[in-house]
C-alpha cells in the first residue's frame, strides 16, 4: 500500500509539473492578452500533459527523474508562490 501511495504522489507531482510547463509553453507561444489566442487546443493539451505526467510519474523509478520532479515542484512554489492565477492582469 505504501509503495503504491508513493508512486501516486509522484504521479500527481509530475502531472502538475507538466501542466505548468504546458501552461508556460502556451504563454510563450501566444502574443497579446488573449491566452492561447482562443485556440481550442489549450484545454486538451493541458489535460493530456496532466495525464502523461501522472502515468510517467507512476511508472518511472529512476532516482534522477524523481529529483528533477521534486526540483520542478519546488521551483513552481518559489517562482509562483500564489500560483499563476494569483493576480489579475496589470492595469
**pLDDT score at 70:** 80
Query: What string of pLDDT tens digits covers the 91 residues of the chain?
Result: 467 888 888 899 889 888 888 887 887 787 766 667 777 888 999 999 999 999 999 998 888 888 888 887 777 777 666 665 555 555 5
**pLDDT score at 84:** 56
Has residue 86 been placed in a domain? no
**pLDDT score at 54:** 94
Has residue 89 been placed in a domain? no
**pLDDT score at 75:** 78
Number of independent structural domains in the chain: 1
**Other C-beta atoms within 10 Å of 21: how many?**
14
Has residue 53 been placed in a domain? yes
Q: Please answer whether residues 45 and 1 qualify as being in contact, where contact means their C-beta atoms are separated by less than 8 angstroms.
A: no
Amino acid at each position: 500500500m505504501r509503495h503504491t501511495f508513493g508512486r501516486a504522489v509522484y504521479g500527481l507531482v509530475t502531472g502538475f509539473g507538466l501542466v505548468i510547463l504546458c501552461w508556460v509553453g502556451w504563454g510563450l507561444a501566444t502574443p497579446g492578452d488573449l491566452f492561447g489566442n482562443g485556440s481550442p487546443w489549450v484545454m486538451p493539451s493541458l489535460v493530456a500533459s496532466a495525464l502523461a505526467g501522472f502515468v510517467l510519474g507512476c511508472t518511472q523509478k529512476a532516482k534522477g527523474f524523481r529529483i528533477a520532479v521534486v526540483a520542478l515542484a519546488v521551483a513552481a512554489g518559489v517562482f509562483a508562490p500564489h500560483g499563476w492565477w494569483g493576480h489579475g492582469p496589470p492595469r
